[in-house]
Structure 1
Amino acid sequence: MLPKEKIDRINELSRKSKSVGLTDAEKEEQQQLRKEYLQTFRSSVKNTLQNVTILDPKGNDVTPEKLKKIKNKRLH
């Protein structure tokens, strides 16, 4: 998870860009922070999916084969 200070800074830059605009340095900082946020978010989603087992209403494992292979690689 991204530190609260960085999320606060992303929000601060977003508000400023809508009201008065950003300097070139602030635009670059905003892009870098957004990139870091997306990497963290994607990593979190990927990790969550790698730990999920999908069951149908009857309780049968219907996890996609691709996901099962990824899980098996992590365990070995």
Structure 2
Amino acid sequence: MDYANMKMDDVIKRINELYKKSKEEGLNEIEKEEQQILRRRYIDSVKSNFRAQLETVELKKKN
């Protein structure tokens, strides 16, 4: 599966599906690996968005 090009909504949906399954019946090794890849993709996206927001912030000088 091409995780890098998945829409973020789809990434979050799949993370939640895997979480629910892990609590109900457990995950196999492939699903555990997928879960980690998707979580990393989500975290990297949040960091990137936050970094982009910080770059647009301008400090105001005190008078």
TM-score range, shorter chain: 0.7 to 0.9
Distance 1:18 1:54 in 2: 46
% identical aligned pairs = 41
Name 1:32's counterpart in structure 2.
37
Kindly state the Cα deviation for residue 19 of structure 1 after the two structures are TM-superposed: 1.5
1:16 CA drift (Å): 0.9
Runs of 4+ in 1 over 4 A off after TM superposition: none
Q: Which runs of 5+ in 1 are unaligned?
A: 62-76
Aligned residues: 56
**TM-score scaled by length of structure 1:** 0.66
Query: Which is greater in Rg?
Result: 1
Write the distance in 1 (CA, Å) between the matches of 2:59 and 2:35: 37
**Higher RCO, 1 vs 2 (CA within 8 Å, ≥6 residues apart):** 2
What is the deviation of 1:54?
3.5
**Structure that is richer in helix per residue:** 2
| TM norm structure 2 | 0.78
Give yes or no for the alignment of 1:4 onto 2:3.
no
